[in-house]
């Protein structure tokens, strides 16, 4: 008789497909996963605790480092929370700049996801094509904020810098270019038989599961739940724009792929309308006190980041630092369903499923 035994396999924290320092302890039988246990915390920097000793403006650069692929949304959520507490009216021009920056960030975040996801499946070229377009977006955001990744762009009451001359036209030119490139992406990858075999029907979960695990963003919308905070609880000036919330019914990896691509298209639609309606003149920063002190009390705001609902809770005792700051970080919540999805899958499927969740470890570990 042959003696067979289960094998304990450590995937990560140093593994090419865990997108950072994520670790999975797998119990495998051959290549079939019996049990998966995620271990997180390798990138924990204690953002929330650090924030208790920082003034509100000083917290903003720390949020850049949470979801470092889409830092603009993180900037926005902290500013939005403080503005809500203080009741500050943000000037229109600033809101437009914020929305444009966030939507550009959304496109670049999904592009990065696409490139790395397809790279995980073994295709090397798409990553470089995705980076070509992402580079254009980073250049645009760089012109706006002076940084390429950790923007530190928004302030309580508005934004730090005005758009340089001709910037809006550059965004206007970028939109049709991006649409053209998306067609190329679909030609290269989406129709590929090998690709479809890798992703179709893999990592499936139902609407109920998604809601019970408190998933959000594309991970939720791929099961048919039409929930997007930009539409359902409009913040900033999103109620002015005309756009759809892309939804798929299947709940598998392929549907998440399609949802993200459709979201790029919708983000481009929003950008197009922003460019048209952009106010020529106006202040970019509301009149706010020199030292920002949130009034005594608490507030929770949530917005739609590329990865899902990012929330910010502030409890203040009226000082210039928050008493307690808490972020609802979507990657962290989205990751919870992973052990359930991985049971009974093979190692190749693990890569596809993990990739499709779209985690950013900086955000998972906080």
Partner 1 sequence: MIEGLLHDQAGLLNFVIFFVLGAVLLLVILGFVTYAILAERKVMGFMQMRYGPNQVGGPWGLLQTVADVLKLLLKEDTIPKLADKPLFILAPVIAFAPSFMVIATIPFTDKLQFADIGVGLLYYIAVSGLTTIGVVMAGWSSNNKFALLGGMRAAAQMISYEIPLVMSVLGVVLLTGSLNLNEIVSAQENVWYILLQPIGFIVFFIASVAELNRIPFDLPEAENELIAGYFVEYSGFRWAFFMLSEYVYMFAMASLTTVLFLGGWLPLFSFLDFIPGAVWFALKFSLVIFILLWFRSTFPRIKADQLMEFGWKVLLPVALANIFLTAIIKSLF
* Residues of the shown chain interacting with partner 1 in the complex, contacts defined by CB under 8 A: 7, 9, 15-17, 30-31, 118-125, 128-129, 132, 188-189, 192, 194-195, 197-198, 346-351
Whose CA is closest to 278, among 225, 240, 231?
A: 240
Q: How far is the CB of 351 from partner 1 (least distance, A)?
A: 5
Q: Distance between terminal CA atoms of the chain?
A: 50
Rank residues 198 and 329 by Cβ distance to partner 1 and give the closer one: 198
Rank residues 189 and 335 by Cβ distance to partner 1 and give the closer one: 189
Residues contacting 343, CB < 8 A, separation 6+: 33, 34, 35, 36
Q: How far is the CB of 361 from partner 1 (least distance, A)?
A: 17
Rank residues 135 and 233 by Cβ distance to partner 1 and give the closer one: 135
Cα angle 124, 130, 133 (rounded to 5 degrees) comes to: 150
Q: How far is the CB of 263 from partner 1 (least distance, A)?
A: 22
Rank residues 121 and 220 by Cβ distance to partner 1 and give the closer one: 121
Q: How far is the CB of 123 from partner 1 (least distance, A)?
A: 4
Rank residues 48 and 358 by Cβ distance to partner 1 and give the closer one: 358
Q: How far is the CB of 116 from partner 1 (least distance, A)?
A: 10
Rank residues 35 and 298 by Cβ distance to partner 1 and give the closer one: 35
Q: How far is the CB of 32 from partner 1 (least distance, A)?
A: 10
83, 91 in Cβ contact below 8 A? no
Q: How far is the CB of 19 from partner 1 (least distance, A)?
A: 11
Cα angle 137, 231, 282 (rounded to 5 degrees) comes to: 60
d(CA 76, CA 139): 20
d(CA 312, CA 154): 15
d(CA 341, CA 350): 9
Rank residues 275 and 351 by Cβ distance to partner 1 and give the closer one: 351
Rank residues 46 and 122 by Cβ distance to partner 1 and give the closer one: 122
Q: How far is the CB of 348 from partner 1 (least distance, A)?
A: 4
Q: How far is CA 202 from the centre of its chain?
A: 22
């Amino acid at each position: 008789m042959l003696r067979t035994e289960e094998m304990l396999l450590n995937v990560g924290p140093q593994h090419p497909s865990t997108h950072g320092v994520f670790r999975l302890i797998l119990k495998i039988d051959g290549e079939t996963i019996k049990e998966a246990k995620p271990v997180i915390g390798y990138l924990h920097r204690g953002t929330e605790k650090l924030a208790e000793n920082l003034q509100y403006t000083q917290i903003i650069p720390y949020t850049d480092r949470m979801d470092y692929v889409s830092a603009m949304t993180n900037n926005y959520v902290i500013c939005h929370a403080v503005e809500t507490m203080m009741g500050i009216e943000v000037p229109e021009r600033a809101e437009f700049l914020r929305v444009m920056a966030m939507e550009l960030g959304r496109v670049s975040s999904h592009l990065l996801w696409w490139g790395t996801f397809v790279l995980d499946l073994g295709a090397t070229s798409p990553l470089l094509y995705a980076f070509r377009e992402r580079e254009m977006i980073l250049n645009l955001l760089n012109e706006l904020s002076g940084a390429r990744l950790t923007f530190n762009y928004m302030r309580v009451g508005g934004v730090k810098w005005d758009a340089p001359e001709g910037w809006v036209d550059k965004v206007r030119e970028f939109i049709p270019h991006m649409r053209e490139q998306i067609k190329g992406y679909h030609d290269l990858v989406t129709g590929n038989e090998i690709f479809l075999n890798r992703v179709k029907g893999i990592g499936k979960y139902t609407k109920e599961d998604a809601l019970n695990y408190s998933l959000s963003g594309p991970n939720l919308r791929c099961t048919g739940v039409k929930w997007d905070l930009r539409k359902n609880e409009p913040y900033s000036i999103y109620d002015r724009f005309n756009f759809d919330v892309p939804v798929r019914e299947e709940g598998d990896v392929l549907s998440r792929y399609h949802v993200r691509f459709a979201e790029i298209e919708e983000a481009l639609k929003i950008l197009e309308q922003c460019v048209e309606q952009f106010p020529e003149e106006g202040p970019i920063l509301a009149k706010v006190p020199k030292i920002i002190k949130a009034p005594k009390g608490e507030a929770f705001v949530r917005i739609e980041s590329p990865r899902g609902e990012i929330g910010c809770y502030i409890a203040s005792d009226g000082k210039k630092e928050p008493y307690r700051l808490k972020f609802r970080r979507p990657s962290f919540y989205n990751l919870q369903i992973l052990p359930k999805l991985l049971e009974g899958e093979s190692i190749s499927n693990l890569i596809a499923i993990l990739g499709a969740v779209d985690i950013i470890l900086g955000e998972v570990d906080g």
